[in-house]
């Protein structure tokens, strides 16, 4: 079941409210591109708020597309869903609004078979598109110890990266079909690299390592960088671009692009974050940062 509560829903609706003015200036309606459709939560809210919008929703996850199609069915032919990584998309017309909610959705984390999380034991997969690409297990076996340590430090900002990489390589192989390895095994190994007192914090010791592997498996920062270079050209003059990120590496890329790209004008000087009530009700929102820019004339 792909039930997903969209984060920062009020902030997204408020920040995209000027779309209504843009719609009034363009007869025949306008286009919204949701680059990370997920379960369709943000898109449903925006389509309901702005009846003149049509949606192109992008997602490489088959389960997400199925769930979004069901959720967005009431909007009929206003909705088109495309199976693609958002950096590979080329819109056929300029959009009034583009939204990207980066990172892994709660349903992906909660399905053990996807291998994103150590909360439920599953295979070491971590692919956003489960039908293509290298799994996390294959990546662990392919990389030399030094390269693996650099990856865990660079993408996870993990200070014990060298100790963790050494233990991972000592305990391999991880991609042997005759001896399937699991997320729980890897999490236990990483936790054992920490002193006992450091294992009891709010953040699980394996969190940063799992983040680093997921980013590498899906080339998340490379994809985001390529998309940020092209996405201003997806927008009509005055069109809005909103990006929700969940860790500092993503947010830094978005902030830099919004500052340096001459095609864009920042709408939010500082990122919008969840109010206390939302953070309490939806823990995933606690790390969310929402930045908005406008396409210059």
* Mean pLDDT within 65-91: 97
The per-residue pLDDT of the chain, averaged, comes to 93
Judge contact between 80 and 72, C-beta under 8 A: no
The pLDDT tens digits for 152-192 are 999 999 999 999 999 999 999 999 999 999 999 999 999 99
Q: Span 226-243, mean pLDDT?
A: 98
Q: Residue 165: its pLDDT value, please?
A: 98
Residue tagged 């990207």 (tokens): 100
Rounded CA-CA distance 145/164 in Å is 9
The dihedrals phi and psi of 153, each to the nearest 5 degrees, come to -75, -45
Q: Taken in order 71, 77, 78, 81, is the CA torsion positive or negative? A: positive
Higher-confidence residue of 221 and 130: namely 221
Question: What is residue 60's predicted lDDT score, i.e. its pLDDT?
Answer: 93
The pLDDT-based confidence of 26 (bands split at 50, 70, 90) is: confident
User: Using CA atoms, how far apart are residues 182 and 88, in angstroms rounded to an integer?
Assistant: 31
Which band of pLDDT confidence, cut at 50, 70 and 90, is reported for residue 203?
confident
Give the H or E element holding residue 245: strand 235-245
What are the b/e assignments for 6-41, b being 16+ CB within 10 Å? bbbbebbbebbebbeebbeeeeeebbbbbbbbbbbb
To which residue do tokens 């004008």 refer?
265
Check residue 106 and give its pLDDT: 58
Residue 202: what pLDDT?
72
pLDDT digits 0-9 by tens, 43-57: 999 999 999 999 999
The token pair at 258 is 């919004």
Q: Which helix (H) or strand (E) holds 280?
A: helix 276-281
Q: What is the pLDDT, as a whole number, of residue 1?
A: 46
In this structure, what DSSP letter does residue 247 have?
Answer: S
pLDDT in tens, 99-153: 999 977 656 666 666 767 777 789 999 998 888 899 999 999 999 999 999 999 9
Decide if 38 contacts 4 (C-beta within 8 A). yes
DSSP 123: B
Contacts from 63-67 at CB under 8 Å and sequence distance 24+? 63/2, 63/107, 63/111, 64/2, 64/37, 64/38, 64/39, 64/105, 64/107, 64/108, 65/37, 66/2, 67/2, 67/3, 67/4, 67/38, 67/39, 67/40, 67/107
How far apart (Å, rounded) are the C-alpha atoms in residues 125 and 134?
8
């Amino acid at each position: 079941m792909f039930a997903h509560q969209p984060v920062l829903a009020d902030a997204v609706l408020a920040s995209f409210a000027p779309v209504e003015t843009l719609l009034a200036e363009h007869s025949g309606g306008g286009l919204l591109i949701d680059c990370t459709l997920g379960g369709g939560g943000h898109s449903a809210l925006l389509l309901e708020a702005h009846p003149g919008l049509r949606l192109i929703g992008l997602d490489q996850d088959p389960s997400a597309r199925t769930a979004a199609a069901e959720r967005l069915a009431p909007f009929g032919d206003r909705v088109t869903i495309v199976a693609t990584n958002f950096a590979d998309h080329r819109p056929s017309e300029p959009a009034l609004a583009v939204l990207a909610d980066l990172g892994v959705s709660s349903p992906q984390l909660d399905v053990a078979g996807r291998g994103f999380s150590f909360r439920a034991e599953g295979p070491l997969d971590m692919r956003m598109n489960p039908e293509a690409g290298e799994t996390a297990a294959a990546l662990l076996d392919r990389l030399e110890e030094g390269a693996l340590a650099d990856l865990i430090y660079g993408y996870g900002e993990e200070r014990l990266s060298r100790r963790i990489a050494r233990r991972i390589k000592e305990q391999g192989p991880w991609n042997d079909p005759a001896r399937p390895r699991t997320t729980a095994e890897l999490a236990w190994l990483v936790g054992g690299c920490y002193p006992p007192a450091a294992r009891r914090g709010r953040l699980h010791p394996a969190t940063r390592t799992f983040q680093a592997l997921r980013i590498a498996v899906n080339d998340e920062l490379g994809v985001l960088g390529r998309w940020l270079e092209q996405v201003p050209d997806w927008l009509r003059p005055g069109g809005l671009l909103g990006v929700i990120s969940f860790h500092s590496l993503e947010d830094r890329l978005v902030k830099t692009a919004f500052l340096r790209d001459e095609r864009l004008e920042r709408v939010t000087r500082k990122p919008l974050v969840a109010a206390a009530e939302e953070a309490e009700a939806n823990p995933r929102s606690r790390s969310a940062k929402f930045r908005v820019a406008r396409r210059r004339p």
